[in-house]
Chains A and B, each alone.
Chain A
Amino acid sequence: MDLLIFQVPILMVQASLDGILLGILFALIAYGMALQWGVMNIINIAQGELVILGGYIAYFMYVAGIHPAFGVIVSPIIMYFVGWALYKTIIFRVVDRDMFISILATFGISILTQQLMNFIFGSDVVVAQSNFGTTFLFNYMVTLPNAKIFAAGVSIIFAIFLVIYMRKSKLGRAIRATAQNARAAKILGVDTEKVYAATFGINAALCGVAGSLIAITFTLHPYVGLPYTVRSFMIVIIAGLGNLPGVALSGMGLGVFEQFADYILGTEFRIGSVFLLLVLILVYRRFKLSRKREYLK
C-alpha cells in the first residue's frame, strides 16, 4: 500500500485533475450507452470493444504517418458504419426481446471482437504518440499532458454537438420520439428500424471518438474493453437515463475515484476497485429502492 498521496498533498490536485479529464472521456462513452439503452432498451456489453476498435483506427493512422488527432474525425465515420452493420446483422434480432438476451448476445460479440482484434492487431500494448507536450501547473508540481486536455476538449465539443443535433435535427426528433414510445412513433410515421440503426451507429461513432482519444492519451490492448463497458454502465445507473449533466458529473466523479484508488490501493487493484464499486453502487441502490417500497406499503 502506497500512501504517498497523504504525505504529498499536491498529488491530490494531480489526481483530481487527471480524474476529471479522464471522467469526461468516460462520460462520452456513457452518453452513447445511455442513448442506446434509452432508445432501444438494450445493454451493450460490447461497448468497450467498440471503443478499443475505434482506438485502433487512430493508432493505424498514426502508424501510417498521419497525426493521430485526426482519428477524432475519421474514426467516428468508420465506426458509424461498423455499428450500423452490427445492428443490421445481429442487434436488430434482440431489440424487442428480453434484456438478458441482449446482454448475452453482446457479450458474445464482445468475446468475438476481442479475439479478432487480437489476431488482426496483435496482443501488444500500443499507444499513438501525439507529441502535444505537457502543461505544468503550480510551479512544476502538477503535470498535465496536453493530449489529455485535448481529449477532454474534443469530448465536450462532441457532446455539445450531439445534444444540439438531438434537439434540432429531424433524426434527433425521431430518436427522441422512439425513446418515448416506439409504437406511437411507428404509427405516426417514424421508421423505427432506421432510427434504431442510426442510434446504434451514433453510439458506435461516439465510441470511435472516445477510442481515438484513448489511443493518444492512454494505451490500447485488445482485452481492456470490458472495464469501459462497466464504467459507462455505472455512470448511466448513477445518473439515470436522459440526465446529461448527471452523466457528465458522475463520469468525472468516477474518474477522480479511480485516480485516488490508483494512488491509495495501488495500480494492481485499479480495475478491481472499479468493478467492486459497481457492485457496491448496485447494492446501495437496491437498499434505497427497497426502503422506498417500504414507505409505499
Chain B
Amino acid sequence: MIKNKLFIYLLILAFGLAAPYLFPAYKLQISILWIFIILSLTWDVQGGQMGYNTFGNILFFGLGMYLCSSIQIGLFFPLAEWTASGGEKTFVHTPIQYFQGFFIGLILAGIIPALVAAFIGYGILGLRGHYFAICTLGLGIAAGEIAGGIELIGAGQGMTSPPWPKGIGDTELRSEFFYYICFALMVCTFLFLRWAYQTRFGLVLNAIRDNEDKAEAMGIYTMRYKITGWVVSAFFVGIAGGLMGNMIGYIEPVETAFAGRTFGVFMVIMAILGGKGTLWGPVIGATAFHVFKEGFWTFFLGWQYVALGALIVVVVVFFPEGIMGWLREKYPERFGEVIDEADRKAQVELE
C-alpha cells in the first residue's frame, strides 16, 4: 500500500518534470492545470475540510495578481505612467530587474493577501452557513468592481504585466520558466496541506465542519483555526494569482483577476467534482475538469458558459459526493474502511 502510494507520487513528479518536453504545445495548458489544482486544493481547506463554503477566495487570487504586477512595475518605474500607456511598452525591464521584481512581487503577493485574510477573517468567518457563502460572494464581486474603478491600476481597462525581458531567451524559455514555478508551487501546496491535515490543525478543521458548537464546547478556539485556515488558503492563492497574472500577461479586473464567473466558480466546481473533504479529490477534480474544459470547450465554442452552468447544476444536484466519494462508496476497502457484511446485506434488503 505504501509502496503503491510512493509509486503514484513518483509518477506524478516524473510527469510534471517531463511534461514540457513531452507535450511542448500544451505547456501553458498544463501550467494552468497546476494553478487550477492549487485553487481547488485551497478552496477545499474551507469548503471541504472546514465546511465553510466560500465564493470569496477569488478575492485573494485577484489581489495577488494585481499586487505582483504592480510591485514588479512599481519598483523600477512609475506605475501610473505604465498603466496610462496601456499596451505600449515605454519602459523595459532589464533581466535582473525583471527577476528581482518578480520574486519580491510573488512573495508579497502571498503575504499581503494572507494578512488581508487575517484582518477580515475575524469578522467574516463568524458568519455561518449560507450567510458566509453570500458574504464571500459579495466580497469577491465588490473587489472586482472597486478594482475596476481605480485609475492607478488601469481601472476597467486593466493593465499589462511586465513582458519577458529581452536578451535571455525566447518565449519557449519563458513558458518553461513559468511552467516549473507553477509546478513547484503546486507541489508545495499539496505537500503542505498533506502535512497540515495530518496534524491537530486538520482534525480541528474537521471538527469545525462536523459540529462547530461542540468543538467550541470542547475547548477549542475555533476562530483561531478558521482564520489560520483562511490565511493558508490566501497565501497560496495569492501567489498563484501573481503567477497567473504574469503568465497570461494581461490583467483585467472582472475577467481575469476577480473572475468570479470563471475561476471563482471553477475552484468550487473542481473541488466538488473531485470530492470535497479529501486530499486527492481536488486534484482529481481539477484534472478532470480541465480536461473536460479544454476538450469540450472547443466543441461548445461560444456556448462554454451554458455548458459550465449545466455542468454545475448536474454535478451539484446529482453528484455532490464527487469522484472520491463515489470511489469510496464503491471500494470502501481501499480507503481502509472495514465493512460489516451482515450490516451491508441488511441495508440492501432495507432498500
Interface residues, chain A, with chain B CB atoms under 8 Å away: 43, 90, 93-94, 99-101, 103-105, 107-116, 119, 226, 230, 233, 237, 266, 268-269, 271-273, 275-276, 278-279, 282-283, 285-287, 290
Shortest CB distance B117–A (Å) = 14
Q: How many angstroms between the C-alpha atoms of A164 and B194 in the bound complex?
A: 58
Check if A90 sits within 8 Å of B313, measured CB to CB. yes
Scan residues 128-177 of chain B and give those whose CB is less than 8 A from a CB of chain A: 129-131, 133-135, 137-139, 141-142, 144-146, 148-149, 155-156
A-B contact pairs, 24 of them (CB 8 A): A43-B130, A90-B313, A93-B318, A94-B317, A103-B134, A104-B53, A107-B265, A108-B308, A108-B310, A112-B310, A115-B305, A268-B156, A275-B139, A275-B142, A275-B145, A278-B134, A278-B135, A279-B135, A279-B142, A282-B138, A283-B135, A286-B131, A287-B123, A287-B126
In the complex, B84 has a CB within 8 A of chain A? no
Q: How large is the interface on B (under 10, 10 to 19, 20 to 34, 35 or more residues)?
A: 35 or more
- Most chain B CB within 10 A, of A90, A278, A279, A286, is at A279
Scan residues 100-128 of chain B and give those whose CB is less than 8 A from a CB of chain A: 123-124, 126-127
In the complex, B309 has a CB within 8 A of chain A? yes
Check if B123 sits within 8 Å of A283, measured CB to CB. yes
- Answer whether A276 and B146 are a contact pair too, CB < 8 Å, given A99-B130, A103-B133, A105-B317: yes
A103 / chain B contacts, CB cutoff of 8 Å: 53, 130, 133-134
Shortest CB distance B299–A (Å) = 15
B127 / chain A contacts, CB cutoff of 8 Å: 282-283, 286
Check if B126 sits within 8 Å of A108, measured CB to CB. no
- Answer whether A99 and B129 are a contact pair too, CB < 8 Å, given A112-B305, A269-B149: yes
- Answer whether A115 and B134 are a contact pair too, CB < 8 Å, given A101-B317, A271-B145: no
B53 / chain A contacts, CB cutoff of 8 Å: 100, 103-104
Check if B312 sits within 8 Å of A111, measured CB to CB. yes
18 further A-B pairs in the complex, CB-CB below 8 A; given A99-B130, A108-B310, A279-B142: A43-B134, A90-B317, A93-B317, A93-B318, A94-B317, A100-B129, A100-B133, A101-B320, A103-B130, A104-B268, A115-B305, A272-B149, A275-B141, A275-B142, A276-B138, A276-B146, A286-B123, A287-B126
In the complex, B306 has a CB within 8 A of chain A? yes
In the complex, B316 has a CB within 8 A of chain A? yes
Which of A108, A230, A233, A271 meets B316, CB within 8 Å?
A: A108
Which of A105, A109, A266, A272 meets B142, CB within 8 Å?
A: A272
In the complex, B311 has a CB within 8 A of chain A? yes
B146 / chain A contacts, CB cutoff of 8 Å: 269, 272, 276
Closest Cβ neighbor of A100 among chain B residues = B53
Interface residues, chain B, with chain A CB atoms under 8 Å away: 53, 123-124, 126-127, 129-131, 133-135, 137-139, 141-142, 144-146, 148-149, 155-156, 261, 265, 268, 272, 302-303, 305-306, 308-313, 316-318, 320
Shortest CB distance A289–B (Å) = 8
B123 / chain A contacts, CB cutoff of 8 Å: 283, 286-287
Q: How many angstroms between the C-alpha atoms of A238 and B92 in the bound complex?
A: 52
Shortest CB distance A62–B (Å) = 26
Q: How many angstroms between the C-alpha atoms of A119 and B305 in the bound complex?
A: 11
A104 / chain B contacts, CB cutoff of 8 Å: 53, 268, 272, 312, 316
Main DSSP-derived SS at the B contact region: helix
A268 / chain B contacts, CB cutoff of 8 Å: 145, 148-149, 155-156
Shortest CB distance B166–A (Å) = 36
Shortest CB distance B18–A (Å) = 36
Q: How many angstroms between the C-alpha atoms of A287 and B268 in the bound complex?
A: 28
B308 / chain A contacts, CB cutoff of 8 Å: 108, 111-112
B261 / chain A contacts, CB cutoff of 8 Å: 111
Check if A290 sits within 8 Å of B126, measured CB to CB. yes
Q: How many angstroms between the C-alpha atoms of A285 and B308 in the bound complex?
A: 34
Check if A279 sits within 8 Å of B312, measured CB to CB. no
Check if B129 sits within 8 Å of A279, measured CB to CB. no
Closest Cβ neighbor of B127 among chain A residues = A286
Check if B313 sits within 8 Å of A112, measured CB to CB. yes
- Answer whether A105 and B141 are a contact pair too, CB < 8 Å, given A100-B130, A233-B134, A286-B126: no
B145 / chain A contacts, CB cutoff of 8 Å: 268-269, 271-272, 275
B124 / chain A contacts, CB cutoff of 8 Å: 279, 282-283, 286
A107 / chain B contacts, CB cutoff of 8 Å: 265, 312
Shortest CB distance B132–A (Å) = 8
Check if B135 sits within 8 Å of A108, measured CB to CB. no
Which of B137, B138, B265, B320 meets A111, CB within 8 Å?
A: B265
- Most chain A CB within 10 A, of B138, B149, B272, is at B138
Q: How many angstroms between the C-alpha atoms of A112 and B320 in the bound complex?
A: 19
Q: How many angstroms between the C-alpha atoms of A230 and B139 in the bound complex?
A: 11
B313 / chain A contacts, CB cutoff of 8 Å: 90, 105, 108-109, 112
A115 / chain B contacts, CB cutoff of 8 Å: 303, 305-306, 309
Shortest CB distance A281–B (Å) = 9
Check if B303 sits within 8 Å of A282, measured CB to CB. no
Closest Cβ neighbor of A41 among chain B residues = B130
A116 / chain B contacts, CB cutoff of 8 Å: 306
Q: How many angstroms between the C-alpha atoms of A269 and B142 in the bound complex?
A: 9
The 7 closest A-B pairs by CB, nearest first: A112-B309, A108-B312, A272-B145, A275-B142, A111-B309, A115-B305, A108-B313
Which of A108, A114, A279 meets B138, CB within 8 Å?
A: A279
Shortest CB distance A52–B (Å) = 15
